[in-house]
Structure 1
Amino acid sequence: MDFTYLETLSDGYDKEQILSDLILAYQNEVWDYALSLTRSTHMADDIAQDVFLAVYEKLHTFRGEASIKTWLLRITRNISFNRRKNSFVRRVLLMKELPESGSNSPSAELEALDNLMSSEAWRLVLQLPVKQREVMVLHAHHALSHDEIASLLRLPVGTVKSRLHHARIKLAKSYEGGQEHDGV
């Protein structure tokens, strides 16, 4: 979908329809990014809802300086980091998630997480430090350019490139180390 019209909204726009279109187009990317930042399906669910609520309330502030996708991912990042700062959330994240009782079939979110985690590469990516994991996910999964990542994270492009380079080195070392253990 093309959302360039959002740059020039007038007073008579249909916020509900725009929000519906944005959710349809970007809900999976917002949820995936929230998951990569929090490593919790429950928090990713809550954050995705909060992102689209914030978008609904602040739709008129979109200026088109970045793509709509980059804008949504920036909101996702801000909400995720605000959640992580909450001391209650930090304490809860220290505890392991308990399996959901009374459910015979996995939820769509758990299936998505299983699919993501089934890939050895993504398992290793999710183990990276958050700064490196974030740039790797934005680059590899969301296909953002270095400039778009720099804009979203409000970092110099050189810092993005450096973090991506270090993430790739760590991934290569982790993968090689895993291969050695598998062959023994």
Structure 2
Amino acid sequence: MLEVNGLQFDYLNHITGGLDKNLVLEELMQAYGKEVWNFAYFLTRRAELADDVTQDVFVKVYERLYSFRGQSSVKTWLFAITRNTAKDALHSSWLRKVILLPVWRQREVHPSAEKEHLDRQVTEEIWSVVLSLPRKLREVLLLHTHHGLSLKEIAAVLQISEGTVKSRLHRARAAVNRQLGEGDS
């Protein structure tokens, strides 16, 4: 069962029940579009390229909709397509610019200007450290902490073993902690 916005439905039933591909694609875009874009942005570090990658991902999803076998979650399937599409886009472009990604939202209704400034500095420092990690460590860390994928799902997206995922996640966390700790001294 796939759960979208609190509603459960059997994805394969949608497909085999003869529903319109456009309707299924629209549901997938509404349910996962923002996460696909965020992952594409993380991988490409360019909003315009993330837009293009996201569009390409959903075109590929539309073309391959009936080939989804349900061996992984739909989210895992989408992230694998996103990763491969972003990789192709990066290989064919001249991008190498690092852009910091502000992700944390203010939870306070009226934070002080000083608090906003400090929060922004901390966020930029953390993302600077995360983005300085080698790609293999960055991917695992983002998929686990930001997108909430399990080790098994990350292994499926990256096509590596769960043990490798665990190792990379441990190394990524250690590197972030080490670099942030050095900044305090």
* TM-score grouping bracket, smaller chain normalisation: 0.7 to 0.9
CA separation of 1:6 and 1:63: change in aligned 2, threshold 3 A: same
Alpha-carbon distance in structure 2 between the residues aligned to 1:38 and 1:156: 24
Number of the residue aligned with 1:20 = 26
SS for the counterpart of 1:64 is: coil
Q: Decide whether the 8 Å contact of 1:7 with 1:64 is kept in 2.
A: no
Q: Once the 2 structures are TM-superposed, how far is the Cα of residue 48 of structure 1 from its aligned partner?
A: 0.6
Q: Decide whether the 8 Å contact of 1:135 with 1:149 is kept in 2.
A: yes
Alpha-carbon distance in structure 1 between the residues aligned to 2:140 and 2:97: 26
In the alignment, structure 2 segments of 5+ residues that lack a partner are 105-118
Quick check: which one's helix share is greater? 1
Counterpart amino acid of residue 137 in structure 2: Q
> Which one has more relative contact order, counting CA pairs under 8 Å at least 6 apart?
1
Alignment partner of 1:125 is 2:130 = yes
Number of the residue aligned with 2:91 = 85
Alignment partner of 1:166 is 2:175 = no
In the alignment, structure 1 segments of 5+ residues that lack a partner are 98-109
Alignment partner of 1:157 is 2:176 = no
TM-score (norm 1): 0.79
Q: Residues 1-184 of structure 1 correspond to what in structure 2 (within 5 A)?
A: 1=4, 2=8, 4-6=10-12, 9-10=15-16, 12-86=18-92, 89=93, 91=94, 93-94=95-96, 113-115=101-103, 118=120, 119=123, 120-180=125-185
Alpha-carbon distance in structure 1 between the residues aligned to 2:158 and 2:59: 21
Q: Once the 2 structures are TM-superposed, how far is the Cα of residue 122 of structure 1 from its aligned partner?
A: 3.2
Q: Identity over aligned residues, as a percent?
A: 46
Alpha-carbon distance in structure 2 between the residues aligned to 1:96 and 1:122: 10
Q: Once the 2 structures are TM-superposed, how far is the Cα of residue 124 of structure 1 from its aligned partner?
A: 2.2
Alpha-carbon distance in structure 2 between the residues aligned to 1:150 and 1:94: 26
